[in-house]
Amino acid sequence: MNPSQIIIIDDEVDMCWVLERLLRHRGYDVATAGTGEQGLALLRQPGVGLAIIDCKLPDREGLDIAAEVIALYPTVSLILISGFPFAEESALRERLQSLNAQFLAKPFEVTDLTALVEQVMSRRSNDANRADKD
Amino acid sequence: MSPFSKDDFERLFNGLFNTTRASVLIIDRRLHVLAANRNFLVKSRRAENETVGARLEDVFPTVLINYMGLLEKVRSAFKDPSYSSEGQMTYRAPSLPLRIYHYVLSPISDADGATTNVMLLMYDITEEQRLSGEVQRAERHLASVVQSASDLVVSLDPTERILSWNPAAERISHYTWDEIIHRPLHSLCSEDGKEIMRGAIRRLARGGPPENLETDLITKDGRRVPVAWALSGMQSETGDVAAIVGVGRDLTLRRQLEAQLIQSAKMTSLGVMAGGIAHEIRNPLGICSAAAQLMLAVPDDRELQKECAQRIHENIKRAALVIENLLKFARPPEEQYQLVDLNQVVEESLALVSNQARNQHIRTQFAPNYKAPHVMANSSLLQQVFTNLLLNACHAMNEGGEIMVTLTATDSWVSVEFRDTGAGIEPEALGKIFDPFYTTRPVGQGTGLGLPISYSIVEQHGGRIEVKSKVGVGSSFIVHLPVRQSGTPHESIANHHYR
């Protein structure tokens, strides 16, 4: 089965709302969560291919949630987004690299996000096709 | 019959003659010394055999005899039994310092009333003279201290009329002494300070304890000069208040320095908040940007476009509010005190630190208390105090937690409590937290000025900050501010103006 669902975890309700509609418009199946714990609950359902996680969540650090996702569901891809001015910090860069996660700073160009999402999801579907052939 | 024999009388006479504190000379008609007592001989360093029988001119220096007219006086005393002469004489015995005497010259009569001799009594008053000279010098010194003081030194009668006005008072007020004499001191105070000054002087005139107050002085050319007054009553010997003395310090420079300090501490707080502020603005910007792009992506979906436009509008307002709060915080303090609703100040302060709190997973709680009376305050200064206390609470909760803000009121005080569930303050550190430059934060992250400045701001409002803390449980900072009853100005509040 092709895990095609995208989970968005952000406490900004409007951000969830816009991203959900943008990605739906592109044909993706999207669910949203306002806290890290709610997000992890959504990830327990099968079929999640990508999680878009805000770095600052009201209950947990987005990066800690990301690390937990990778540990529990190694096949799920990750994109972290943040309004924080620390994208240049080497510690963050290293952390993102170790999680094999992409990063986008707010405000971002939607085309940059959709390009990243498409790249991730098509790789997944290629992998899935290859897996089907094997 | 007298119980004394002639010998007894002679012994008694000799005893008196020689033990009296005065120097005594008995002079005969030839103006020779008939007798000199021991005190005279000791003080003048003369031997008895050189003195008794000697002429007065040989006993005293000629200059002194001429100056005093001693010989004429002695002659007059012999002529007139009721003669008496007294005065001051200075006399320097060989190799001794000058001494000053009060002398009395009077005739001695026998039983028939005939003058037989003249007595010269000399009392040494050198010490008394020296002391009164010292008192004069001390008085002159004191006067010159008042004259050259850099503080205003003013004295008033108990009805508040100005009696003296030193040069510093002239320099600061531009009023000369003759322009100001007999005017009441409060007539020089700013409108809001007049009642404060009058009240203090009324209490002093009734014998009240010394008063400290701050008011603005209005100079002759109409400028306002902030002055800290220390006023005290001067009591007369009967215990009444004879005068009131005021020493006033020009606070202009101190106010300027304080304003600079407050501004620099504010900049540090801004530095701490900058990350949160960036987040606070980037989030709504991110939403607006994405929503606008969504609108472009769905040109035919009118409904979705409308919703996007609404959300864009909402988020632009949100970003604008962040900037507005920020500007409110950064601008210099307002000129005047006004009646302020503390609920509003707390809410504005919470809005400023909301992001810092959210980043650290700190929940903030505040239930407004609209029954609390408004207080006379400078709202931007209080906002700085509250913001500082909130940022400190955030700093104490690196692992997240809760800040509860409560507003309580009594008839005379409104109290704002900031309670956190943070690390708490070690008991030994508790005494130092209001000391300038005391900080537990790494170099570059805390100036150690936040609490001292908050303390001084609250003190300027006539209030105080109370601290309760327990290590591992949390801290509570309570700002108590006085309620100013309408019509009766709070006397410990002064008005401060920052220029």
Both structure tokens of B450: 């936040």
Interchain proximity A58–B298, CB inside 8 Å: no
Choose, out of B283, B285, B300, B364, the residue to mutate when testing the contact with A (most A CBs < 10 Å): B283
Both structure tokens of B309: 């436009």
pLDDT at B491: 39
> CA B414 from chain center: how many Å?
28
pLDDT at A130: 65
Burial class from Cβ neighbours inside 10 Å (0-12, 13-18, 19+) for residue B3 reads exposed
Instruction: From chain A, pick out residues whose CB is under 8 angstroms from the CB of B359.
Output: 56
| Percentage of residues of chain A with pLDDT beyond 90 | 49
Both structure tokens of A54: 């805000």
Distance CA B481, CA B459 (A): 9
Distance CA B136, CA B476 (A): 58
Instruction: Please provide residue B440's backbone torsions phi and psi, each rounded to the nearest 5 degrees.
Output: -105, 0
Find, among B128, B121, B163, B165, the residue nearest to B146 by Cα: B165
Please report the residues numbered 41 through 100 in chain A whose beta carbons come closer than 8 angstroms to any beta carbon of chain B.
56, 58-60, 81-86
Distance CA B169, CA B261 (A): 28
ipTM of predicted complex:
0.86
Distance CA B226, CA B173 (A): 11
Band of the pLDDT at A61, cuts 50, 70, 90?
A: confident
CA distance B479 to chain A (A): 29
Average of pLDDT values for B179-187?
92
What does DSSP assign to residue B5? -
CA distance A36 to chain B (A): 12
pLDDT in tens, A15-30: 999 999 999 999 999 9
Please report the residues numbered 106 through 125 in chain A whose beta carbons come closer than 8 angstroms to any beta carbon of chain B.
106-111, 113
- β-strand partners of B409: B414
Both structure tokens of A92: 């963050």
pLDDT in tens, B254-290: 888 877 777 777 777 777 677 667 777 888 999 999 9
Band of the pLDDT at B61, cuts 50, 70, 90?
A: confident
Does residue B446 carry a pLDDT above 60?
A: no
Instruction: From chain A, pick out residues whose CB is under 8 angstroms from the CB of B290.
Output: 15, 18-19, 22, 107-108, 110, 113
AA identity, residue B248? G
pLDDT at A2: 59
Average of pLDDT values for B437-461?
72
Neighbour tally for A131: CB within 10 Å:
10
With 0.80 as the threshold, say if the pTM is over it: no
Q: Positive or negative CA dihedral for A85, A89, A91, A93?
A: positive
pLDDT in tens, B192-206: 889 999 999 999 999
> CA A43 from chain center: how many Å?
11
pLDDT at B145: 82
Find, among B244, B246, B234, the residue nearest to B173 by Cα: B246
Name the closest residue on chain B to residue A111, using Cα atoms. Answer: B293
Peptide bond preceding B94 in cis form (omega within 30 of 0): no
Does residue B21 carry a pLDDT above 80?
A: yes
Does residue A41 carry a pLDDT above 80?
A: yes
Buried b / exposed e over B57-95, threshold 16 CB at 10 Å, is eebbeeeebeebebbebbeebbeeeebebeeebebeeee
pLDDT at A60: 85
Q: In what order do the strands lie in the sheet with B115-124?
A: B33-36, B23-27, B115-124, B99-109, B85-91
pLDDT in tens, B350-407: 988 887 788 788 999 998 999 999 999 988 889 989 999 999 899 888 888 999 999 9
